[in-house]
């Protein structure tokens, strides 16, 4: 199916009202380049039917957008290892609470979701995007049985305040700023064709970094995802590789460890619903540019065009036309080349800092402006202003957008389960972003790079540095995608 989301005419206007207007597919969105961006839909054959770029550039663009996904059986969770034998503790400390000898039953899928949106309106999506992806994939651990898990640092207890099923695991620091739990798999499990995701609820502080580490099979051969997360109620984190030690063999994972650190006082959080999704056959990169700064058109756009790469612009509607921003004409030219103009409702305060009614209005106004100005494809997606969201703003966005992006710090699995919390990587950190690209290519993950200005003589990335990153992507065996490409690649939930 095409990733142009259908937004129906208003039947029953939802609260506060919406502006009715006919929706159309703009000429820009049907350009030859835009058609070539729809990977895996059999549209590559149109390459010779339209003019506007040479054959070499068309070939490069087509090659970058051909994607397939693997179809492999999911792993079965095995029993936990009750002793400390066979795995080296990196810190030399022993768990404060050991797993018992009781044999846990295989994890049962207790996840349920209700993606229905009963109201209708031109700005609403057809189904709640968070609920739609909530139960994607298969369970690895539903946390219904505590014994497989052992606390290394901090306190651990079962709680009925769960994301799915009847219970989750509540964790809190107890003097030591580190919080760490683990589960061992005596016979090993095969995650070589799976990506991980985890439901989290951080109570305090407001934000922290979570580490999920796979010992494959031991501490000298491991993969870690270091992922920023927020106090935003229950939501899902998709996890990809950000640090690799040794030569890990993901077909023999013998321990999974969840760890975080609080340097600013007590830390309390809850985890639940550890799931796996099928790993894609190829890795991918997405290039996102916040704030619609003129250097994105004048500097970045010619460079990405030379490589045949599309990009994604987070547009602040009320700033379009300002001297430092791209004009409508520039935005439409970029869209015609396969770029997407997505919502970025930025004001002097973040969405979570607004009154709920104002937050809803801000999200709706931004989407409405994009649709009315011919950017309906990108209007279905959101880049969070100031990379900030909370439980209330996630709920509002779930009714108006399919995908949302904010800083995360590591690549993610391509079958995203946290549809409105897709993590990004700082593009201004040149060497780190190159490492994340390499890891995304190696483990078939998605690295979403985040940029603002390009070559603006400020403290952000310069023109030559940006060119070097684009050349690095060009050398990698990796796809370059947009939010609509990502959504179109997701299996029907």
The secondary structure of 337-394 as a DSSP string is TT-EEEE----SS-GGGS-HHHHHHHHHHHHHHHHHTT-TTGGGEEE-GGG---HHHH
Give me the tens of pLDDT residue by residue for the chain, a chain 493 residues long: 333 333 333 333 333 233 333 333 333 333 333 333 433 333 333 333 333 444 444 444 444 444 333 333 334 333 333 333 333 333 434 444 444 433 334 567 889 999 999 889 999 999 999 999 999 999 999 999 999 999 999 999 999 999 999 999 999 999 889 999 999 999 999 999 999 999 999 999 999 999 999 999 999 999 999 999 999 999 999 999 999 999 999 999 999 999 999 877 899 999 999 999 999 999 999 999 999 999 999 999 999 999 999 999 999 999 998 999 999 999 999 999 999 999 999 999 999 999 999 999 999 999 999 999 999 999 999 999 999 999 999 999 999 999 999 999 999 999 999 999 999 999 999 999 999 999 999 999 999 999 999 999 888 999 999 999 999 999 999 999 999 999 999 986 5
Write down the pTM of the prediction: 0.81
For residue 130, give the 3-state DSSP assignment: helix
Q: Which of 374, 372, 445 is nearest to 408 (CA)?
A: 445
Counting Cβ atoms within 10 Å, is residue 457 exposed (0-12), middle (13-18) or buried (19+)? exposed
Q: Which of 240, 116, 100, 266 is nearest to 184 (CA)?
A: 100
How is the chain split into domains, by residue range?
A: 59-67+282-489, 137-278
**Alpha helix ranges (H) inside 426-482:** 430-443, 463-475
- The CATH topology of domain 59-67+282-489 is TIM Barrel (3.20.20)
Domain 59-67+282-489 shares a fold with domain 137-278: no
Q: Annotate 65-88 with b (16+ C-beta within 10 A) or e (fewer).
A: bebebeeeebbebbbbbbeeeebe
End-to-end alpha-carbon separation of the chain, Å? 14
CA–CA distances in Å: residue 228 to residues 61, 208, 408, 431? 32, 6, 5, 19
* Integer Cα distance of 264 and 159 in angstroms: 25
* CATH class (in words) of the domain with range 137-278: mainly beta
């Amino acid at each position: 199916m095409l990733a142009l989301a259908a937004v129906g005419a208003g039947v029953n206007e939802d609260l506060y009202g919406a502006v009715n207007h006919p929706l159309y597919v703009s000429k820009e969105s049907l350009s030859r380049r835009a058609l070539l961006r729809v990977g895996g839909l059999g549209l590559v054959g149109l390459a010779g039917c339209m003019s506007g770029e040479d054959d070499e550039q068309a070939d490069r663009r087509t090659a970058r957008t051909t994607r397939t996904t693997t179809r492999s059986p999911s792993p079965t969770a095995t029993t936990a290892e009750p002793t400390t034998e066979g795995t080296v503790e990196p810190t030399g400390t022993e768990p404060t609470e050991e797993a018992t000898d009781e044999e846990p039953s295989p994890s049962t899928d207790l996840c349920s979701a209700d993606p229905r949106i009963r109201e209708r309106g031109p700005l609403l999506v057809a189904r709640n995007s968070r609920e739609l992806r909530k139960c994607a994939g298969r369970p690895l651990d539903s946390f219904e049985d505590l014994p497989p898990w052992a606390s290394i640092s901090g306190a651990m207890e079962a709680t009925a305040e769960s994301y799915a099923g009847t219970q989750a695991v509540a964790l809190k620091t107890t003097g030591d700023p580190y919080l760490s739990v683990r589960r061992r798999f005596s016979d090993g499990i095969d995650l070589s064709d799976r990506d991980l995701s985890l439901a989290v609820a951080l109570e305090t502080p407001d934000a922290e970094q979570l580490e999920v580490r796979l010992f494959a099979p031991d501490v000298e051969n491991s993969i870690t995802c270091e992922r920023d997360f927020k106090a935003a109620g229950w939501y899902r984190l998709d996890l990809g590789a950000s640090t690799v030690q040794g030569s890990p063999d993901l077909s023999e994972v013998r321990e999974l460890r969840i760890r975080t650190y609080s340097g600013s006082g007590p830390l309390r959080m809850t985890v639940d619903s550890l799931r796996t999704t099928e790993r894609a056959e190829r890795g991918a990169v997405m290039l996102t540019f916040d704030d619609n700064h003129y250097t994105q058109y004048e500097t970045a756009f010619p460079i990405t065009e030379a490589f045949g790469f599309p990009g994604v612009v987070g547009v602040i509607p009320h700033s379009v036309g300002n001297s430092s921003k791209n004009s409508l004409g520039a935005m439409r030219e970029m869209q015609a080349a396969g770029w997407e103009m997505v919502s970025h409702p930025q004001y002097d305060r973040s969405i979570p800092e607004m009154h709920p009614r104002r937050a809803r209005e801000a999200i709706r106004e931004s989407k409405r402006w994009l649709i009315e100005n011919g950017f309906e494809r990108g209007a279905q997606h959101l880049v969070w202003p100031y990379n900030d969201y909370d439980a209330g703003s996630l709920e509002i966005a779930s009714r108006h957008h399919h995908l949302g992006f904010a800083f995360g710090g590591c690549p993610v699995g391509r079958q995203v389960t946290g549809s409105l919390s897709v993590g990004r990587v700082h593009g201004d950190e040149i060497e780190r972003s190159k490492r994340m690209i390499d890891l995304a290519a190696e483990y078939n993950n998605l690295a979403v790079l985040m940029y603002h200005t390009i070559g603006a003589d400020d403290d952000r990335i310069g023109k030559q540095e940006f060119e070097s990153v684009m050349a690095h992507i060009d050398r990698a065996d990796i796809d370059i995608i947009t939010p609509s490409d990502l959504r179109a690649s997701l299996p029907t939930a």
